[in-house]
Amino acid sequence: MREDEAVIVFDGVCGLCNRWVDFLLRHDRGRSFRFASMQSAAGRELMLRHGLDADDPASFLLVDRDGAWTDARAIRRVFAGLGGGWRVVDGLIGAVPSAVADRVYRFVARHRYRLFGRRSQCRLPTPDESSRFID
Q: Over 53-73, what HEC string results?
A: CCCCCCCCEEEECCEEEEHHH
Residue 35's nearest CA partner among 47, 21, 53 is: 21
Supply the pLDDT for residue 93: 92
Supply the pLDDT for residue 40: 92
Supply the pLDDT for residue 113: 86
What is the chain's alpha carbon radius of gyration, rounded to the nearest angstrom? 14
Flag whether the pTM goes above 0.85.
yes
pLDDT along the chain (135 residues), means of 10: 78 90 94 93 93 79 93 93 92 93 90 88 84 90
Supply the pLDDT for residue 122: 79
